[in-house]
C-alpha cells in the first residue's frame, strides 16, 4: 500500500500517521489567566476554553486517535467560588448540547469519569443520554474527566478490591497491579501514551495518576483558550522523537518503542486525515 505525503497547513511540524499516540490526555490549564490578561471575567476564559475543546476534538478525530481524555473539572474545583462553578456547569451543559449531533455523526463515543454523582441535574440530564446514545460508536472515545481526581480514583479501585477480598470472591494474592488497573475507569481505553499540559505549569495535578507510569509528558506554555492545531501537532511531533523503553534498554525499531527521528524509515507516512469529518471544515 502506498502512502501519500501531505503537509498540515496549520503547522510546520510533520508527524507520522503510523506512529501516533493511541491515547492522549490533556490538562487544560489557563482559562482564568487568559481572561485576566484581557481584563475580562474568568467566565470569558472558560467560554474560549470550550472553543479550544471543540477544535482539539475535531483534529484528534481527523487524525484518527483512538482516545482523547480531557481534564475538564477536578474534585478540588468544587472549592472555587459558587458563581464560577455554576458558570462552568452551565457551560458544560451548553457544550454537550451543541456538540451532540457532531459527536454522534462522527462515530465518537462520549465517556465520563470521576465522581459524577456530584454533577448537577442540569448536566446529568444531557450527559447521561449522550453517553448512552454514543456507546456503540468506535471511531474515537472522548472522555471527560468531571469531578475527577487521580488519587480518589485509585482509592475507589482499592476499595472495590478490598470488598471482593472481604466477600471471599478474591484472594489477597490476587490483588495485583493488573487487578487494580482493571478497576480504574479512566484506563478503560488503555493507559495514556501522551499527556499534555497547557498554561506553562510543570505538574500533573492529580490527573490519570495510575496510568501515567510510562506516559510521555509534554508541557506547553500556551494558555488553553489559545491551544491550536499547531500546538497539538508540536506535542505529537515531540512524542514521536522519543523512545519509550518501559524500563528496558532501548532498541531502535522494536515493537512498542518509538524510534528517534534519524532512525525512522524515509518511507514512513506523514500525517494524513483519518477521513473527512461530517459537516466540518478544518
Catalytic residue among 19, 77, 115, 137: 77
Place of cell 473539572: 73
Q: What would the grid cell of residue 48 be? A: 474560549
CB-CB contact of 227 with 220 (8 Å): yes
Q: Is 83 exposed, middle or buried (0-12, 13-18, 19+ CB in 10 A)?
A: exposed
Work out the number of other CB atoms within 10 angstroms of the CB of residue 210: 18
Question: Left, alpha or beta for 279 (phi > 0: left; psi -120 to 50: alpha)?
Answer: left
What pLDDT is recorded for position 253?
46
What pLDDT is recorded for position 1?
38
The per-residue pLDDT for range 189-235, each reduced to its tens digit, is: 999 999 999 999 999 999 999 999 999 999 999 999 999 999 999 99
What pLDDT is recorded for position 251?
58
Percent of the chain with pLDDT over 90: 79
31 is catalytic: no
267 is catalytic: no
Q: What share of the chain is helix, strand, coil (3-state, %, to 5)?
A: 45, 15, 45
The per-residue pLDDT for range 67-96, each reduced to its tens digit, is: 999 999 999 999 999 999 999 999 999 999
Amino acid at each position: 500500500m502506498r502512502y501519500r505525503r501531505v503537509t498540515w497547513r496549520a503547522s510546520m511540524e510533520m508527524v507520522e500517521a503510523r506512529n501516533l499516540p493511541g491515547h492522549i490526555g490533556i490538562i487544560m490549564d489557563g482559562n482564568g489567566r487568559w481572561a485576566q490578561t484581557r481584563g475580562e471575567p474568568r467566565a470569558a476564559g472558560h467560554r474560549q476554553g470550550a472553543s479550544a475543546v471543540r477544535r482539539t476534538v475535531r483534529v484528534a478525530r481527523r487524525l484518527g486517535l483512538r482516545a482523547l481524555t480531557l481534564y475538564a473539572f477536578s474534585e478540588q474545583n468544587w472549592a472555587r467560588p459558587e458563581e464560577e462553578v455554576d458558570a462552568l456547569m452551565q457551560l458544560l451543559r451548553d457544550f454537550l448540547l451543541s456538540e451532540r449531533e457532531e459527536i454522534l455523526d462522527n462515530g465518537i463515543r462520549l465517556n465520563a469519569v470521576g465522581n459524577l454523582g456530584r454533577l448537577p441535574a442540569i448536566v446529568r440530564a444531557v450527559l447521561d443520554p449522550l453517553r448512552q446514545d454514543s456507546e456503540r460508536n468506535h471511531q474515537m472515545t472522548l472522555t471527560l474527566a468531571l469531578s475527577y481526581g487521580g488519587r480518589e480514583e485509585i482509592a475507589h479501585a482499592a476499595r472495590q478490591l478490598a470488598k471482593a477480598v472481604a466477600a471471599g470472591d478474591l484472594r489477597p494474592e490476587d490483588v495485583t497491579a493488573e487487578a487494580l488497573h482493571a478497576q480504574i475507569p479512566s484506563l478503560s481505553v488503555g493507559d495514556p501514551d501522551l499527556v499534555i499540559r497547557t498554561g506553562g505549569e510543570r505538574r500533573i495535578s492529580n490527573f490519570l495518576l495510575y496510568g501515567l507510569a510510562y506516559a510521555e509528558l509534554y508541557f506547553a506554555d500556551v494558555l488553553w483558550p489559545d491551544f491550536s492545531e499547531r500546538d497539538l501537532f508540536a506535542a505529537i511531533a515531540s512524542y514521536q522523537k522519543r523512545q519509550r523503553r518501559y524500563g528496558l534498554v532501548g532498541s531502535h525499531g522494536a515493537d512498542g518503542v518509538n524510534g528517534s527521528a534519524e532512525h525512522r524509515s524515509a518511507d514512513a507516512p506523514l500525517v494524513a486525515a483519518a477521513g473527512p469529518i461530517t459537516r466540518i471544515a478544518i
